[in-house]
Amino acid sequence: MNNILKNRSLYLIGMMGAGKTTVGRLLAKEMGYSRFLDTDNIIELVKGQTINEIFTTVGEESFRELETQVLAELCTYTRTVVSTGGGIVLRQKNWSYLQHGLILWLDVPVKLLMSRLTEDNTRPLLKDADMEKKLQTLLAQRQHLYNQADLRITVQPQETPEQVTKRILETIPSILKPPVVPPTYLN
């Protein structure tokens, strides 16, 4: 499955808990891309704080600014799988960076997201909230943005990260444009 994207990077977008980080890491390995990067992880490293702490100390707007700055750097890389934060789609400017590569929406039903995130308190937007309602509201606000991706993969409840990865790799070729063949001129 080497060089399926001809060295272009792959960006994973989608809701919290969709599996962007989990599947992104597997995809990088299967595609023979040596770099897997995750915008949330980079922000945490740069700030020396967890996402929760960043939201508490400087707020969501500053987090979004950091997210844009990180993405602006990452989009200069080729041969990289980039997993993004769930809200990366909110800023128009971010799309100009995402479009440096192929954008893939990992679409996961809210019920399945719930089952994955109930025991997880690392997502500040889900704290102190009715999780199902909050996820539904966020998805309703963002669905049309996620839908701007080049490819949508809807994940089934029993699909393992490995199976999702395999399906993505099988689907990508069908959405790539065939290479442009220069016209041949007869003498």
Ligand X SMILES: Nc1ncnc2c1ncn2[C@@H]1O[C@H](COP(=O)(O)OP(=O)(O)OP(=O)(O)O)[C@@H](O)[C@H]1O
Ligand Y SMILES: O=C(O)C1=C[C@@H](O)[C@@H](O)[C@H](O)C1
Give the binding site for Mg ion (CB under 5 A).
20-21
Distance CA 80, CA 184 (A): 35
User: What minimum distance in Å lies between the beta carbon of 35 and ligand Y?
Assistant: 19
Q: Which of 79, 100, 123, 142 binds ligand X (CB under 6 A)?
A: 123
Q: What is the size of the binding site for ligand Y (CB under 6 A)?
A: 9
Which of ligand X, Mg ion, ligand Y, none interacts with 107 (beta carbon under 5 to 8 A by kind)? none
User: What minimum distance in Å lies between the beta carbon of 161 and ligand X?
Assistant: 4
| Binding positions for Mg(2+) | 21
Which of ligand Y, ligand X, Mg ion, none interacts with 89 (beta carbon under 5 to 8 A by kind)? none
Task: Retrieve residue 75's tokens.
Answer: 């989009």
Distance CA 157, CA 176 (A): 27
| C-alpha gyration radius of the chain | 17
Assign residue 6 a region: left if phi > 0, alpha if psi is -120 to 50, beta otherwise?
left
- Of 26-34, 132-140, 144-152, 160-168, which segment contacts ligand X by CB under 6 A? 160-168
What angle do the packed helices 59-74 and 39-47 form, to 10 degrees? 110
- Of 20-28, 66-74, 146-154, 175-183, which segment contacts ligand X by CB under 6 A? 20-28
The DSSP result for 94-146, as a single string, is HHHHHTTSEEEEEE--HHHHHHHHTT----GGGTTS-HHHHHHHHHHHHHHHH
Residues within the interface to ligand X (CB under 6 A): 14, 16-22, 40, 83, 85-86, 116, 123, 159-161, 164
